[in-house]
Chains A and B, each alone.
Chain A
């Protein structure tokens, strides 16, 4: 079946612009995660959605970052007033029932802020 789909695969933007990154999870998966992977760095947790519960936003690095998940399915990560340090690969993952089931990752969106 279809895996986790992320779009766009690559995004180049100018400093100060806003960007939206999209994630389509696997159908039926109740949990959705966003992570960030910078060059030479490990995966940095950003935000976690589980069903209808309030999301865990504890990993968002600043108030320029926000995410929503509409209808328990598609998620959008928005970065306002982008900075060069926001350049990274943004990875989305979903799982059937939360962290106790395997996470399935998309191929990521490579964001470059010039």
Chain B
């Protein structure tokens, strides 16, 4: 059974800092990995999708990497801003559905 773990559960950083969020999964037979952002009381917003054949994807200040063999993904956020404060979730694509981690709640302090 696929399990997805995110570390740390919460993170607080000063504005401007670069940071890395971690995601690990137990079964490397995945179709893709997606990173989402969730703001309080809202649904999820898709940030990046990495296909299983890819190693990384970039969008603006965000860069996500995927290492299937080790069952790991990282989300790198450059020059963090207070508006980046949210919960970040990773999810792995598994036979038609996504399996989600518990998320990392990020607070960026001005």
Contact = CB atoms under 8 A, between A and B. Distances in A.
Interface residues of A, number: 25
B42 to A, nearest CB: 6
B44 A93 contact: yes
A103 B31 contact: no
A33 B93 CA distance: 13
B97 A56 contact: yes
A72 interface: no
Nearest to B102: A42
A48 interface: yes
A109 to B, nearest CB: 11
Given A4-B43, A91-B43, A107-B42, A99 B102 contact: no
Interface residues of B, number: 25
Contacts of B88: none
A85 B45 CA distance: 27
B94 to A, nearest CB: 8
Interface of B: 4, 31-32, 34, 36, 41-46, 49, 51, 89, 91, 93, 95-103
Interface of A: 4, 33, 35, 41-43, 45, 48, 50, 56, 58-59, 91, 93, 98-108
Given A42-B4, A99-B96, 16 more contacts: A4-B43, A35-B100, A42-B89, A43-B44, A43-B89, A43-B91, A48-B96, A56-B95, A99-B93, A100-B31, A102-B34, A103-B36, A105-B36, A105-B43, A107-B41, A108-B43
